[in-house]
Amino acid sequence: MRLTSSYAVFRADPGEQDLAKARWHGREGRAEAAEREYRAALQRNPDLTTGWMELFELLRRDARHAEALAAAEAAAAHFGPEAAVPLALKGAALAELGRTREAVSALEGALERDGNLALAWHELAYAAHRVGEYSRALLALDRAFALEPHTDSLMLRGGILRDAGQFEAALVAFEGAFQSAEHEPQRHEAEREMAATRRAAALGGGGKRPRQFSRRERVFASSGAALLDAGEDDARDLPTLLALCLAAFTPLVRAVEWKPAAVAGLSVADGQLARAIAVALGVDTSPLAALDPADRPLVVATFLQGGEDWARQRERLGRWRSGTTFALVQAPGVAEAADVVGTIRAVPPPLPGPETILQALAGALAAPVAEIPDIREATALAASAEAPWRRRQQEP
């Protein structure tokens, strides 16, 4: 979700022509090049307030929150202590760093300097949302929207309402964001949030709020994936964890009645996993290119990190209205998750690289676990009417 930069990125100000190259790199996903160009532009003209905002947001999107705070402090050093925007940026960075009390103080300071700064009201709403102060967040967001109506204000409103358990109101907000979006990525994000809200609502019967969800339920609500690993705090090594996930997957497939006739690896590196699953299910493996909708194919990945190949296969299964997906390990933050995921955590952290995971898979296959883990919760989530694979196969 864009927050800070949403208030300035698309303004066609002739004085901001020096930011054109940085913006182009940013739109193309070239974050390092964009950062270099922003810093060069600000060195040439440090009075470009929008340049500071966009550099800040670039760092924020990459979760480089300490560097974003440093950028906000550099802007404050240039513009002086009475400038509202740098203080609002500082508050936003502090909120991301979990320093909420300091964040609120900085944002309130920004509003003392400029009470009509929509950016500061928006970020104050975000900070309040992060600590569960939903009423305060909505009041601040109403002020931001009154000052400067914006798609991302509607997106944040939807997120606040969803976390407060007001699912229908959240859907209305996300629908409004979808209708008002000017760019395809914004519409796609609004669609994802609407789907996440429907999943949360399906889990939230009886007044259950998202903060009360189990770990598996949180993952399912946010991404649609049925997670096999419950994330217990234990001393299992990675091969053992993967062996448990593999032991849980086959009975889950049978319980939700997927009945694939062919299993295919997403890449050549996924052949070992594809063969093991095919043997466990009693079906054949197949190259991706040879798959057919009648195969009800199961596409598997050992380590899913997203990317064009993954997007292409998801689109193909959606077009066919047939087939399902499984990722043994999924990287955190993958926007389009697999239908079933083994684990998204590292044992121990940080998450290992592809080669380490392939070695762990070999160890898991060489020493399978004898006892099948409890799959009841994961199976219920995979069988949900709101599971992405069900909706994908039912869409006209």
The tens digit of pLDDT for each residue in 178-223 reads 998 887 888 999 999 999 999 999 998 778 999 999 999 999 999 9
Contact 36, 151 (CB under 8 A): no
* CA dihedral for 340, 342, 345, 350, sign (positive or negative): negative
Give the β-pairing of 324-330 and 340-343: parallel
Q: pLDDT at residue 135 above 50?
A: yes
SS3 324: strand
- Which residue, chain included where needed, has tokens 């402090």? 73
80 backbone φψ class: left, alpha, beta (φ>0; ψ -120 to 50): left
Report percent pLDDT > 90 for the chain: 80
More confident residue, 285 or 7: 285
Positions of E strands within 200-332:
226-227, 262-265, 284-285, 298-304, 324-330
pLDDT at residue number 234: 60
> Mean per-residue pLDDT for 359-365?
96
Residue 303's contacts (CB-CB under 8 Å, 6 or more residues apart) are 327, 328, 329, 330, 331, 354, 357, 358
Residue 333 CA, distance from chain mean position: 5
pLDDT at residue number 233: 60
Contact 6, 151 (CB under 8 A): yes
Residue 395, number of CB atoms within 10 A of its CB: 8
Cis peptide leading into residue 149 (ω within 30°): no
pLDDT tens per residue across span 303-329: 999 999 999 999 999 999 999 999 999
Rounded to an integer, what distance in angstroms lies between the CA atom of residue 160 and that of residue 138? 7
Q: How confident is the model at residue 150 (pLDDT cuts 50, 70, 90)?
A: confident
Rounded to an integer, what distance in angstroms lies between the CA atom of residue 117 and that of residue 346? 42
> Mean per-residue pLDDT for 153-171?
95
Q: Which of 10-24, 125-139, 278-292 is the least confident region?
A: 10-24
**Token pair belonging to 184:** 């395809």
Q: What is the DSSP code string of 191-216?
A: HHHHHHHHHHHHH-GGG--GGGS-HH
Angle between helices 49-61 and 20-27 (to 10 degrees): 20
In order of their start, the domains of the chain are 4-149 (1.25.40.10), 225-394 (3.40.50)
pLDDT at residue number 13: 60
**Token pair belonging to 365:** 């296959």
Amino acid (one-letter) located at 234: D
Residue 135's contacts (CB-CB under 8 Å, 6 or more residues apart) are none
> Mean per-residue pLDDT for 32-53?
94
Residue 297, number of CB atoms within 10 A of its CB: 26
Q: pLDDT at residue 9 above 90?
A: no
pLDDT at residue number 26: 86
From residue 290, give the alpha-carbon distance in Å to each of 3, 285, 294. 44, 10, 11
Residue 322 CA, distance from chain mean position: 25
Contact 354, 233 (CB under 8 A): no
Contact 137, 117 (CB under 8 A): no
Element (H, E) at 11: none
The 3 state secondary structure assigned to 114-147 is CCCCHHHHHHHHHHHHHCCCHHHHHHHHHHHHHH
Q: What is the largest CA-CA distance in the chain?
A: 70
Rounded mean pLDDT of the chain? 91
Rounded to an integer, what distance in angstroms lies between the CA atom of residue 146 and that of residue 116? 10
Residue 217, number of CB atoms within 10 A of its CB: 21
Paired with 263 in beta bridges are 285, 298
Cα-based angle 354, 359, 364 (whole degrees, multiple of 5): 120
